[in-house]
Structure 1
Amino acid sequence: MKKLSLWHLCMVTILLLTAPVLSAADSYKSLNGTMTPISLPDALHPWWPDSLSLRFVNHVGRHGARFLSSESKVLKLEKFLNGQNAAGNLSDKGEKAMAMLDTVSARTAGRWGALTELGRREEQTIASLTFSLSPELFHKGHITSLSSYVPRVVESQYSFCLALADSSSHLEIVTAEGRNFDILMRPFDYFKPYKQYRAEGAWKAPYSRFEAQMVPVGPARRLLKDDRSLTDAEAQALAMDMYGILQGMEAAGIPISPSAWFSVEEYRECAVISNLARFCRNSINPYSTLAGSSAAPLLENLILTMRKAAEAPEKEYDVARLRFGHDETLMPLISLMGLTPLELEKDSLSPINVWERWNTAEYFPLAANLQLFLLRSPGGKMFVAAMLNERPVAPCAADSLKGGQLIVSLDDFEKCMKTRLALFPAISRE
């Protein structure tokens, strides 16, 4: 056996002592996928040169933290547990699960899918951070905002706009919401070919194989004293329903930990497979480019408004255009723009590959947002910078020449985005 020197032993000890240690609670929280509350900085500072002034902001945001969208998973799990309880077959963990469902139902009653107080704070904080980048721009001017018709999205819009209005009484903000904006904010509902693909597309068969291989059976089997009547497929379906409930507890402000039913590794396996489903349904992937194409109208709108803001005399166009939707709004858009580092071939598609490079908790948490900034030089030339979730990103990340640049000219940005649109063109509604 190869012996370690004293120096090596000392270095290992130092690394172990200084490495950040995640508590069990933090480990579970990092695995909540799209139900992860956004992590926001305390302050934002312009990363562009002082010589550039902010002229206009384009914002596309997901609604903030919410309660569980419906009680379907709760009712399904409740029905199973009640049946097992009647047969005297519930273990201690099963009884705890029944109590957990009672708590969730009581705390969420009448508020399924509603924005939480945390969600309102998220949107208000993002608005305040945006304002702080250029108080001069937002001191006085006109802002147009729109949202999908879903109440939690509408309330997210109002929370954001109210925070801006509180920052300056001279702003004029016009808001609108409704199904008229589905083509932009709900492409997953608007375009029938894409809607059909999401439900029963070519991704389903390989995903189902991964699901059968990866989803743990232990969490469901441990709910019962005698689990012999429970098939693996049934146990896996129950585990995913449990995960779907528990991943939303932090956002809802309900203090229930998954640790009573899942090990960290089991919870991670559910998170990884859930992440894969999101990728296959909502992003350009080896089985379809429909997700990217569905976001073409929204990207075209972003390009158009950037150009209009650039060409209009100062203060004669909106200082900002705001749009509020869902994670399924942002996922196709970010994919179409090439801002996420993942367009895999079929033979490299796996849950772990996707998890490591396209993690929904990182890219699409609650209140996730993309902001495009139009910047003007003293000589009048226009540039574009971008932020994803309050962190600078390269606006033309997919471009081989401009991909590493955090600031690009408006002309280069348009060229890059139009190249992406040519690769993934718009589709017809039917």
Structure 2
Amino acid sequence: MSFIKHSFFIQFLIVAILLLIFSPLSLATMMTSGSKTAYHYVKQPTAVPAGYQAFYIDHIGRHGSRYISKAKYEDIAYKILVLAEKNNQLTEKGKLLLTQITTIKELNKDHYGELSDLGRKDISLISQRMLNNNPTVFKGQKIAVISSTSPRAKETAEIFINTFKTKYPNLNVHQQPEDQQTLLRFFEYSPAYAKYKKNKIIKNTLKSLENAPKSIEMSENIARLIFTSNFIHQLNNGISLSENSIVKTQNFVLAVYQLYQELLSFSPPLLADNHLDFSGYFTKDQLLWFSTVVTAKNYLQIGPAFDSNGIQIKIAAPLLLDMLKTADSAIANNNIDANLRFAHAETVSPLATLMEIEGTNIVANPVSDYPSVWQADKIIPMAANIQWIFYKSEQADQPILVKVMLNEREVHLPLKTNDYPYYQWDELKKFYKNKLNNWGLTDQGVVLKWLNKIK
């Protein structure tokens, strides 16, 4: 065997072994994990137009991978399994599942909602790439930072800016006051949006997916791997865990699937060390369907839903306006390297749709077809981010250019350009300002009032 062939064979063998060892993070898993997907970076170099160099970045990012935020699904799965165990109605696979969920409970104990080690690592790597890939942007003069009041968003901000502080110890970090949460948690300041989230159409749509014949049939098939037939009969009729909690077979299976998604917040070595692997309980078709059921809530509440200009998207207008204003200020004054913002999926997703980034704003009909036009794992994975990178020419008469990246991938915008992925700033700004003007938002000083009134 020649050296080249031998080398190729060894590389192929290594990749195959890694996929077997780390099956919870295989490509199939990446496709079925929705907004719980761990961040995945793919290098995408595009030559900068001749005579141009980057000089400023406007950024909004989601916190990194986290521990499960609430014990709800963990409790449902655990309590049902314990009940079955007490009555000697668990299969061998059921006993293994109970052991795994007991381990998960121990791992999550005292850490609910916190960043995981994988999340911390991903955030650090994103900031390092931002610094290394844009050497002409970061001159150590000043960066402005604001984060959501959430502890995991605050920690994400700290990790991110530490990269810059390490290189520039005297860097001027301007920490914007937390009272500007209308820019990042706008979803909490709009009465119309609060009403929208609770409307019957959304509730009924989600229920119809959870209780669809496909959900019920798949849930029963999975339950047969875990319980005896007698217990499945009880579960089909509903088991009461409390006064307000009746759990049926599909509720239990969806809870287990939610935990399956949450496992992606942990690193492959941690999963392997703790023998955590739910892949034996789901087929690929089942994973795809349950992902559709679970992620529908994101699509409807923070995605294009039934109207890509609906209230769930309009509320991101204050953040878009702020990005336009801060960019204009940076261009005019040349005194800041970057504006960095850290928040949540509920912040990033509406902004991406509002900007009409390709793949974020198409309405699906019927709703169950949404994965074909809107994929949460590509738009709002853990550590999701939108970066506007600005470029200026050595020649004063040339236009400012901007490249928009979603999760460090170059994206198409609804504008014409001869230099994709670079767009002329004046044209991009005009397009978005016209959109905001049509909704009556022109002044940052009236954002709270605007959010209170917008429908």
Q: Is this contact kept in 2: 1:44–1:133, CA < 8 A?
A: no
**SS across alignment from 1:139:** coil
Give the superposition deviation at 1:277.
2.0
Alpha-carbon distance change, 350 to 307 in structure 1, aligned in 2, over 3 angstroms:
same
**What pairs with 1:16-95 in structure 2 (closer than 5 Å)?**
25=24, 26=26, 27-41=28-42, 45=45, 47-95=47-95
Q: Which moved more, 1:301-310 or 1:264-273?
A: 264-273
Alpha-carbon distance change, 195 to 425 in structure 1, aligned in 2, over 3 angstroms:
farther
Alpha-carbon distance change, 293 to 138 in structure 1, aligned in 2, over 3 angstroms:
same
Q: Distance in 2 between matches of 1:104 and 1:409?
A: 49
Q: Match for 1:293 among 311, 314, 339?
A: 314
TM-score, L = length of structure 1: 0.86
Residue in structure 1 matched with residue 250 of structure 2 by the alignment = 236
Give the superposition deviation at 1:200.
3.2
**SS across alignment from 2:88:** coil
Q: Match for 2:409 among 391, 395, 399?
A: 391
Residue in structure 2 matched with residue 225 of structure 1 by the alignment = 228
Residue in structure 2 matched with residue 419 of structure 1 by the alignment = 434
**SS across alignment from 2:60:** strand
Q: Is this contact kept in 2: 1:141–1:172, CA < 8 A?
A: yes
Residue in structure 2 matched with residue 3 of structure 1 by the alignment = none
**SS across alignment from 2:59:** strand
TM-score, L = length of structure 2: 0.81
Q: Is this contact kept in 1: 2:361–2:374, CA < 8 A?
A: no
**SS across alignment from 1:67:** coil
Whether 2:301 is the aligned partner of 1:311: answer no
Q: Distance in 2 between matches of 1:106 and 1:420?
A: 49
**SS across alignment from 1:138:** coil
Alpha-carbon distance change, 93 to 199 in structure 1, aligned in 2, over 3 angstroms:
farther
The letter of the residue matching 2:138 is: F
Alpha-carbon distance change, 319 to 407 in structure 1, aligned in 2, over 3 angstroms:
same
Residue in structure 1 matched with residue 382 of structure 2 by the alignment = 366
The letter of the residue matching 2:228 is: K
Alpha-carbon distance change, 176 to 77 in structure 1, aligned in 2, over 3 angstroms:
farther
Q: Is this contact kept in 1: 2:358–2:411, CA < 8 A?
A: no
RMSD between aligned alpha carbons? 2.6
Q: Match for 2:296 among 264, 269, 276?
A: 276
Give the superposition deviation at 1:231.
2.2
Give the superposition deviation at 1:404.
8.6
Alpha-carbon distance change, 45 to 367 in structure 1, aligned in 2, over 3 angstroms:
same
Q: Is this contact kept in 1: 2:73–2:258, CA < 8 A?
A: yes
The letter of the residue matching 1:239 is: V
Alpha-carbon distance change, 241 to 408 in structure 1, aligned in 2, over 3 angstroms:
same
Q: Distance in 1 between matches of 2:311 and 2:181?
A: 16
**Structure 1: which 5+ runs fail to align?**
1-16
Alpha-carbon distance change, 238 to 419 in structure 1, aligned in 2, over 3 angstroms:
farther
Residue in structure 2 matched with residue 10 of structure 1 by the alignment = none
Matched-pair identity in %:
21
Alpha-carbon distance change, 425 to 117 in structure 1, aligned in 2, over 3 angstroms:
farther
Give the superposition deviation at 1:425.
6.0
**What pairs with 1:244-263 in structure 2 (closer than 5 Å)?**
244-253=258-267, 254-255=270-271, 256-263=276-283
**SS across alignment from 2:89:** coil
**Structure 2: which 5+ runs fail to align?**
1-11, 238-246, 442-449
**SS across alignment from 1:429:** helix
Residue in structure 1 matched with residue 451 of structure 2 by the alignment = 428
Q: Is this contact kept in 1: 2:139–2:337, CA < 8 A?
A: no
Alpha-carbon distance change, 54 to 223 in structure 1, aligned in 2, over 3 angstroms:
same
**Aligned residue-pair number:** 402
Give the superposition deviation at 1:350.
3.2
**SS across alignment from 2:137:** helix
Q: Distance in 2 between matches of 1:369 and 1:86?
A: 46
Q: Distance in 1 between matches of 2:196 and 2:302?
A: 10
Deviations 1:139-172 (CA, angstroms, capped at 9, x unpaired): 3210010100111111110110001222333422
Deviations 1:59-92 (CA, angstroms, capped at 9, x unpaired): 1000111111121211122222222222222222
Q: Distance in 1 between matches of 2:210 and 2:358?
A: 24
**SS across alignment from 1:248:** helix
Alpha-carbon distance change, 244 to 181 in structure 1, aligned in 2, over 3 angstroms:
farther
Q: Distance in 1 between matches of 2:318 and 2:383?
A: 22
Q: Is this contact kept in 2: 1:139–1:171, CA < 8 A?
A: no
Q: Distance in 2 between matches of 1:332 and 1:100?
A: 36
